[in-house]
Amino acid sequence: MANYELNLQDYLRILRKRKWIILSFMVISFVFSFIFSSFTTPFYRSTTTVSITQRESTNSLLSEMMEWNPGDMMETSSTTITSYAIMKMVGKKIGLIQEDSSNSTIDAVVGMLQGEIFTKQVGNTNLIQISVTSLSSQRAFNVAKYTAESFIEYNLDIKSKQTQNVRQFVEKQLRHYEKQLALSEKELLEFKESLPLDQRTSGLGETSSLKDDPLIAGLESKLVDQKLQLSLLLQEYTEEHPEVLRLEQEIVILKQTLTKEKERYLIKLRNLPEREVVFARLLRGLELNKELYNKFRDQLEDVKIRQAHEVEDIAVVEPPSKPYMLGTGRKKNVLTGILLGLVLGLVVSFLRETLDTSIGTIEDVEDYIKLPVLGVIPHIDVDKATYMIVDEQHHKWFEQFQRLMGTYEEDINMLRGRLIFSVENQSSISEAYRILQTNLQFTALEKDHKTIIFTSVGASEGKTLTSINSAVSMAQMGKKVLIVDCDYRRPTMNKILGLPRENGLSEIILGKSTLEENIKNITDIMLGDISSKKILQSPGIENFNALSCGAIPLNPPSLLGSGRMNEIVQEMRSKFDVVIFDSAPILPVTDTLIMASKCDTSILVYQAGRAARGALKRAKEQLTNIQTHVTGVVLNNISASEMKPTQKYYHYERKD
């Protein structure tokens, strides 16, 4: 396409041009979406709702240390509901997982259940809605029911294990400090018994007042508490957890402080007699072990009480609802399919238009190759015109014979239906050729250009048909016209006119016959297999003459480039007002360049969409390189619906 900005008219032109692509995509999408919806099995959904309640931990030490974030807790709980462990429990309850099921079977069932379950928090509340979608209504109900139950059981099991771990830890520490307390009592008793009777009580009162340093006692108690907290945290988290790292740092600082205070306390003890120091140390150990023993004994009782009265944090607030059918969504699917088809059709249409290297408007042709557009030949509908100029009886038995022999060519009959013999004199097609002849009159004929060669970029662009109709139109305007078939690569003119190929141009060049002998007039054409009724109704048709190509030579360029051919062209100029040469396409072979050098001017026939615009430009450059005159371009086979005048003259498209 040309490099100008698209406007609304251009978009409408593209839509009209590519309408069948858009409609095809819409129809295909509609059919597929309708079939898909027809075979879609309806789904059923059941929902249940559970509440999450945050309760104090069974260990008061943990509850003081851990922070509770409701948002994080709800998100974690929603994810936990569809976890592997809970889905495995559900699979066992609905009978899809047996005790002897393999790991691959379990993984498959868990994955399937996870795909059926959707969880979401209800607003900003502590409620979580569990939705289950399944092809079976009973399956949806059971999965919703067992998912809520399994979630409660899983949470309770986790809490029970945590409480049991705390109890085991506290009992272990209690047994340890019970032994330490008994050992401290024994050591103190043995120390007193080792003293003389008169020294067992004297002088020990002052020492007992130094044993109970409040700062050291508080630091040791706090150190024990933090060690307990650290042990409990390591049961749930790794050593890299932020809370674990923070607590370890606090323990290190606390140990350093306690060490300094003990050193200060020992300095005080050095000023006392040795027996006082020993007694104070033993008494201090006894009091410390007694304090720790009492602390863990109280903690054990607290754990037992809490374990005995342990309650669930999760409860079902809405039991599973009765499964309801979601439907197949046929209407929605069909509408979506049509919309998708429309979008795809538009994308493909504009993409194809972007990749289309053909030229889009008359203005584009003139700007791109710097040649005027001499005429725009509309598409001829041959649905009824195909047989209008063909003798029905003759055509009937001849077609049957050709079909029997396998030589029937329907394209020739289609081409004959596009001759202007078959259309009304006042039709748009006849008018288009008259416009072409008028333009030729002012551009070529008035310059005494009597020999005109019609060529095209490639094959099947309507070059032969355009040249024949141009010759007929000139004849109707009163000019004596001769059309010569010099397309030795694919001769078609004689087939369209119903003339024999033999005794044509080749025989004249080789000297086997003369120009007068081989030229066929309208009488010869009427004696062929074209009906004479329509021909006789065409005014001035007696001025029309034709010369077929004759025998196909082995080397067409050498035949057309001979000196004899120059003489024949001059002879034709002297006997006819206009001589039109129908030559081969210019790009594939050199025949046209040879003939163009012998003619007064050349005309390019271009069918939009058939050849790329770059090829059209190369064709024009090849003609100008041999110093031949190029009159202009004829746009052929254009859809009349696209020939609407705009600021760009006309828009047009190829009619397939």
* Residue 537 CA, distance from chain mean position: 60
Structure confidence at residue 132 (pLDDT) = 92
Produce one character per residue of 105-129: b if its CB has 16 or more CB atoms within 10 Å, e if not: ebeebbeebeebbbbebeeeebbbb
Q: In 325-423, where does DSSP find H-type helix?
A: 330-355, 362-369, 392-405, 410-416
Q: What are phi and psi of 530, to 5 degrees?
A: -100, 135
What are the distances in angstroms from CA 457 to CA 202, 411, 484, 612, 616?
Answer: 133, 20, 19, 9, 6
| DSSP assigned state of 459 | S
Say what the pLDDT of residue 312 is.
63
Measured CA to CA, the distance from residue 91 to residue 82 in angstroms comes to 12
**CB-count burial class (<10 Å; 0-12, 13-18, 19+) for 180:** middle
* Residue 382: predicted pLDDT: 55
Range in 90-99, 528-537, 588-597 with the lowest mean pLDDT: 528-537
List C-alpha distances in Å: 150 to 89, 147, 309, 485.
Answer: 6, 5, 21, 92
Lowest mean pLDDT among 216-225, 234-243, 377-386, 397-406: 397-406
pLDDT of residue 58: 44
For the chain, the first-to-last Cα distance in angstroms comes to 19
The confidence score (pLDDT) of residue 270 equals: 59
Report residue 107 as tokens.
Answer: 């993984």
Give the pLDDT confidence of 483-495 residue by residue, as tens digits: 999 999 889 898 8
**pLDDT confidence of residue 481:** 94
Overall size of the chain counted in residues: 656
- Dump pLDDT digits (tens) for 108-162: 999 999 998 999 988 888 899 999 998 888 989 999 999 989 988 888 887 777 7
**Which of these, 498, 503, 319, lies nearest to 421 by C-alpha position?**
498
Percent of the chain whose predicted confidence (pLDDT) is above 90: 21
Give 557-583 pLDDT, tens digit per residue.
999 999 999 999 999 999 999 999 999
Tokens at 649, concatenated: 């003259």
Of 446, 468, 475, 478, the residue nearest 389 (C-alpha): 468
Average pLDDT over residues 174-201: 74
Q: Phi, psi (5° rounding) for residue 28?
A: -65, -45
**Over residues 465-486, mean pLDDT:** 90
How far apart CA 305 and CA 482 sit, in angstroms, is: 121
What is the CA angle 594-595-597, rounded to 5? Answer: 70
At 17-29, the pLDDT tens digits run: 788 889 999 899 8
67 has pLDDT over 60: no
pLDDT of residue 419 exceeding 60, the answer is yes
Assigned token pair, 28: 């295909």
Say how far apart CA 184 and CA 195 lie, in whole Å: 17
Tell me the pLDDT band of 401, cut-offs 50, 70 and 90: low
Choice between 636 and 61, residue whose per-residue pLDDT is larger:
636
Q: Is the pLDDT assigned to residue 630 strictly greater than 80?
A: yes
Comparing 106-115, 202-211, 418-427, 624-633, the range with the smallest average pLDDT is 202-211
**This prediction's pTM:** 0.48
Pick the more confident residue, 174 or 9: 174
Cα separation of 157 and 150, whole Å?
A: 10
Q: What is the pLDDT of residue 448?
A: 75
Q: How far apart are CA 543 and CA 590, in angstroms?
A: 31
pLDDT for residue 59 is more than 60: no
Sign of CA dihedral 227, 231, 234, 236: negative
The H-or-E segment that residue 580 falls in is strand 578-582
CB 601 within 8 A of CB 452: yes
- C-alpha–C-alpha distance, residues 323 and 137, integer Å: 5
Q: How many CA atoms lie within 13 A of 53 on its CB side?
A: 11
pLDDT band of 309, cuts 50, 70, 90: low
CB neighbourhood size of 9 (10 A): 13
* Model confidence at 219: pLDDT above 90: no
Percent of the chain with pLDDT over 70: 76
Mean pLDDT of the chain: 78
- pLDDT of 444 reads 60
- Sorting pLDDT into bands at 50, 70 and 90, what band is 297? confident
Q: What is the reported pLDDT for 559? A: 92
Structure confidence at residue 452 (pLDDT): 94
Q: What is the pLDDT of residue 343?
A: 92
Is pLDDT larger for residue 309 or for residue 49? 49
For residue 271, what pLDDT band results from cuts at 50, 70 and 90? low
Instruction: Name residues whose C-beta falls within 8 Å of residue 620's C-beta, 6 or more positions apart in sequence.
Output: 369, 371, 604, 630
Nearest Cα neighbor of 351 from 121, 9, 21 is 21
* Spatial CA neighbour of 87 closest among 132, 48, 129, 42: 132
Which of 12-21, 352-361, 464-473, 510-519 bottoms out in mean pLDDT, i.e. has the lowest?
A: 352-361
| Lowest mean pLDDT, pick from 11-20, 93-102, 376-385 | 376-385
Q: How much is the pLDDT for 636? A: 84
Phi-psi region of 95 (alpha: psi -120 to 50; beta: other; left: phi over 0): left
pLDDT of residue 107: 92
User: pLDDT band for position 276 (50/70/90)?
Assistant: low
